[in-house]
Structure 1
Amino acid sequence: MARGGTTQSKVHLKGQSDDFLLFIDDVDTYKKWLGDKSVPLVEFVSSFQIFVTHKQGSQGQYDTASKSSLDNEFGTTDETEVIKQILEKGTLQEVQMAERQGSRNDSNGAMGAN
């Protein structure tokens, strides 16, 4: 049985001091929000957690952004305001996660072995 095969969507913003990431659940609603700010963020933002990648682009190790890094980059520690800025200025990236095939329980051993 295949597992995986999903699309991961994120918005990446290359800042002055670091790279910032947000994960998106619904790309179509995000695109609608770009033109209509009355759309609630909770309808498309995966979690209200901002990640930094320590200048490694969108592929580096993800760590939670500190209040000081948000303040240094965006001039505020208000996470909702920072999220809006990342969504407006960042770049949408969609990555297809490959399906995986294979046994789900290798500890059963070979079937039919005597």
Structure 2
Amino acid sequence: MSRANETVSKVFYKGSTDDFIVLVDDVQILDKWRNDSTIPLVDVVNGFDIFATNNHGTQGILERVANSSLENEFGTSNKDKCIVEILKKGDYQSSLARENNGNTNVANGPTFQAR
């Protein structure tokens, strides 16, 4: 999805049964696309995946959404159509990805062996 300390840009859509997220490249391109649908979708999204957070809001763990969830929410499992709906009706959000600092469970002891 992204490397540590990179900005994660996404569009969050609060559905009736689940929360959906589509990753985007840039808010300016998203805004231009919202006003000019002739801009190719490939220029807006960061991959053609839709994620669900299992009703844990914008900070939930992202899981790829099942086609049945798309059918229930959008009336279709066509990802392109669902992505368009999410981009049109969702809220743009940006956050800094957390840095991975390795093992932080000190109860495990050191990760090396002294000789």
Cα displacement (A) at 1:95: 0.8
Equivalent position of 2:10 in the other structure: 10
Runs of 4+ in 1 over 2 A off after TM superposition: 3-6, 96-101
**TM-score, structure 2 as length reference:** 0.79
Equivalent position of 1:112 in the other structure: none
Question: Which of these two proteins has the greater Rg computed from alpha carbons?
Answer: 1
Q: Distance in 1 between matches of 2:18 and 2:90?
A: 13
Query: How many residues were matched structurally?
Result: 102
Cα displacement (A) at 1:28: 1.1
Cα displacement (A) at 1:7: 1.7
> What aligned pairs does 1:24-35 form with structure 2 within 5 A after superposition?
24-35=24-35
> What aligned pairs does 1:34-53 form with structure 2 within 5 A after superposition?
34-53=34-53
Structure 1 vs Structure 2 CA RMSD: 2.1
- Asked whether 1:78 is paired with 2:78, we answer yes
- Asked whether 1:67 is paired with 2:64, we answer no
Secondary structure at 2:59's aligned position in 1? coil
In structure 2, what residue type is equivalent to 1:67? Answer: N
**TM-score, structure 1 as length reference:** 0.80
Q: Distance in 2 between matches of 1:100 and 1:64?
A: 22
Q: Distance in 2 between matches of 1:100 and 1:65?
A: 25
